[in-house]
Amino acid sequence: MDLLKINKVKNKVTGSIQITGSKSETNRLLVLQQFYPNLKIENISNSDDSVLMQNALANTSNEINIGHAGTAMRFLTAYFSVKENSEIILTGSHRMKDRPIKILVDALTSLGADIQYLEKEGYPPLKISGKKLEKGIVEIDGNVSSQYISALLLIAPTLKNGLQLKFIGDVTSVPYIKMTLKLLDSVGITHRWVDKTITVSPKRKIKNKIIEVESDWSSASYFYSLCALSPNSEITLSTYKINSLQGDSILATLYNRLGVETIFENNKLLLKNKNILINRGLNLNLKSAPDIAQTIAVTCFGLGVECNIRGLHTLKIKETDRLVALKNELGKLGGEIEITNESLHLKRSGIINENISISTYDDHRMAMAFAPLATKVSIQIEDPNVVSKSYPTFWEDLEKITR
């Protein structure tokens, strides 16, 4: 097993980093590009997920293995359902075969899609026979992964009469759904969201379009954490927009409460540690931005402040059960954390155990979320290459501003 040993950072944390494009934006645009070839995408993410997505869309065989890439599994299930005269087996890693997809499959089959389970009912691998879908109305529980909903929205303009997507109950991860809708809007696809129904109009062709992908805000979270944990630190990140499509851009507001000032300048973020004592803990609902929960929990632990985070029910079906993983690894470091199926409570702690080996559970965010603790103690990260899923150059960028 590979193990990365990170010695305690002794230097001032400072420097500039260019973070790869958002994989969330990239993967949505890659699907749209299949329908509209005159769409050009710039600053494409170099993450494993986006590379897998590109390879899958260019695939000429009848079987595609997308490994751990959950976004690709959801988006490609919808895409191949409407790719006429194609027959694809869509599979993934052992963990992927335990990640449910029944809600999306049920929605697609209600529209007329031909999808079969090849092993366990409700889970990949899938056999998908692409065809023209005649129906245009679907109902889906709003309290599910936004990726299911985005997958349906991305194929909506290709349907004969577009799509009416009706939500049952409250909607989770609204920012990710809005991101998808704004990207549809950016290429000229008309849509409306009224009450609990999203209506997307059909669109056969678009005008020539170039879209630059904004850098990934989830990836920026680790540098927010590093800045919060390192007095006098200053970090510049590129390329970011003050009016971001990404829900994780809420980082700028949240980390202000953890002592980090965010300054927008010429499509760059300047992060500055305000050198203030953080006494008050955090009480947050992150149902709209669950991917930053691990980072925030580790930051609070490193600062010795209490935090309560709710809205985390989707974390149990990610690359690993992230709530259990957080409890295990923070516990090894000396933290006291209680979890439920949708929340965590981290107690205030003044002790951080040194030279602890952090297990990463095949989860890129576990590796990167714990790395900033090196500003406090020496730490070890197991399977460090797992970061390539979303941020292949993370360790090089981290070294650049801490050495």
Active-site positions? Answer: 291
Query: How many Cβ atoms are within 10 Å of 23's Cβ, its own excluded?
Result: 28
Do the Cβ atoms of 165 and 138 come closer than 8 Å? yes
Token duo for residue 142: 């709003």
In 155-208, at which residue ranges do the beta strands (DSSP E only) sit?
A: 163-168, 191-194, 197-200
> How far, in Å, CA of 43 to CA of 21, rounded?
5
Do the Cβ atoms of 83 and 157 come closer than 8 Å? no
DSSP β-bridge partners for residue 194: 197
Q: Which residues, 6 or more positions from 37, have their beta carbon under 8 angstroms from its beta carbon?
A: none
**Which of 192, 186, 183 is CA-nearest to residue 162?**
192
Q: Which residues of 188-214 are buried (b: 16+ CB within 10 A; e: fewer)?
A: ebebebeeeebbbeebeebeebebebb
